[in-house]
């Protein structure tokens, strides 16, 4: 729960937080998949899709509620791709997420929406699709605990990373510094061991990964390999290279 804690404090001492996406988990073995990540994953990312804002249906608040009951200490990173976002807030806030992220494009009143999430004691996130610029977020950046930059068009797991979205990560990092703000920057879609170093170099704090984690025989090993890839590329000096250089496609 948010309280007076700032989300950035959860990242202290870690170069990158990893949030595996349950969208790619085996639904009939979700418990086993989640528990296999013990000690490797930082957060759990839960994708909620409405078949309207995005062309797919996934989970609902019942899953978030069940996860919270089963894993009281786990940071539940809930990403709702539903429109209008306002109509779904009460049911998701009642399911006790740690962070609730709504889409700018799906909220008619983004300021009120973020305020409502914060008033409920939940960290508030705001997301933008690949086709949305960072600038429209400016009026609400001071309210956001996290900005989620979609690096695929939302709706499905297993899509290719859109490297150009890293430019927006750079803009958001600059805006944060200029304005003395504290939000974390999260990226979601097509993240894997080949592009994780470029993602980090661009300024992301949190990486969501579905297929690259749960699509592997050993999900915990896949997270570990991404951390190793990040360290190795950093040691090789990826920081000085262009953001597109390591933005490998699947």
Quick one: three-class SS letters along the chain?
CCCCCCHHHHHCCCCCEEEEEHHHCCHHHHHHHHHCCCCCCCCEEEEEEECCCCCCECCCHHHHHHHHHHCCCCCEEEEEECCCHHHHHHHHHCCCCCEEEEEHHHCCCHHHHHHHHHHCCCEEEEEECCCCCCHHHHHHHHHCCEEEEECCCCCCCCCCCCCCHHHHHHHHHHHHHHHCCCCEEEEECCCCCCCHHHHHHHCCCEEEECHHHHCCCCHHHHHHHHHHHHHHHHHCCHHHCCCCCCCCCC
Query: Quick one: which of 151, 139, 65, 77 has its CA closest to 107?
Result: 139
Nearer to ligand DX5, 56 or 182 (CB): 56
Which one, 79 or 103, has the nearer CB to Zn ion? 79
Query: Which residues form the catalytic set?
Result: 47, 188
Subset of 79-98 contacting Zn ion (CB under 5 A): 79
Residue number closest to ligand DX5, CB atom: 210
Would you count residue 76 as binding ligand DX5 (CB under 6 A)?
Answer: no
Measured from the CB atom, the residue of 33 and 79 that comes closer to ligand DX5 is 79
**Number of residues forming the site for Zn ion (CB under 5 A):** 3
User: Restricting to residues 160-189, which ones interact with Zn ion according to CB under 5 A?
Assistant: 188
Tell me: does residue 23 bind ligand DX5 (CB under 6 A): yes
Is residue 47 at the binding interface for Zn ion, with CB under 5 A as the rule? yes
* Interface residue with ligand DX5, options 40, 42, 47, 83 (CB under 6 A): 47
Q: With binding defined as CB under 6 A, does residue 152 bind ligand DX5? A: yes
Judged by CB, which is closer to ligand DX5: 23, or 85? 23
> Is 154 one of the binding residues for ligand DX5 (CB under 6 A)?
yes
Cα dihedral 142, 8, 206, 155 sign? negative
Sketch the per residue contact string, 155 through 174, with ligand DX5: x for CB under 6 A, - otherwise. Answer: x-xxx---------------
Q: Is 210 in the site for ligand DX5 (CB under 6 A)?
A: yes
* Binding region for Zn ion (CB under 5 A): 47, 79, 188
User: Which residues of the chain form contacts with ligand DX5 (CB under 6 A)?
Assistant: 21, 23-24, 45, 47, 79, 152, 154-155, 157-159, 188-191, 208-212
């Amino acid at each position: 729960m948010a309280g007076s804690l700032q989300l950035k404090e959860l990242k202290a001492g870690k170069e990158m937080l990893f949030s595996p996406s349950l969208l790619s988990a085996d639904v009939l073995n979700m418990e086993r998949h989640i528990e296999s990540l013990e000690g490797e994953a930082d957060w759990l990312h839960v994708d909620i899709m409405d078949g309207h804002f995005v062309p797919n249906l996934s989970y609902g608040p019942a899953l978030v509620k069940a996860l919270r009951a089963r894993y009281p200490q786990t940071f539940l990173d809930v990403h709702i791709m539903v429109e209008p976002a306002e109509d779904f807030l009460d049911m998701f806030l009642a399911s006790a997420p740690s962070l609730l992220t709504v889409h700018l494009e799906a909220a008619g009143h983004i300021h009120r929406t973020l305020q409502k999430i914060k008033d409920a004691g939940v960290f508030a996130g705001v997301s933008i699709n690949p086709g949305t610029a960072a600038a429209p977020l400016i009026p609400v950046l001071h309210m956001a605990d996290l900005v989620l930059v979609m690096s695929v068009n939302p709706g499905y797991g297993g899509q290719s990373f859109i490297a150009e979205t890293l430019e927006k990560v750079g803009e958001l990092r600059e805006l944060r510094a200029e304005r003395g703000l504290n939000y974390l920057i999260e990226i979601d879609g097509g993240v894997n061991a080949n592009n994780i170093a470029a993602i980090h170099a661009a300024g992301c704090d949190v990486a969501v990964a579905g297929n690259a984690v749960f699509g592997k025989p050993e999900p915990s090993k896949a997270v570990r390999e991404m951390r190793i890839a990040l360290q190795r590329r950093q040691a090789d000096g990826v920081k000085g290279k262009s953001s597109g250089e390591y933005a490998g496609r699947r």
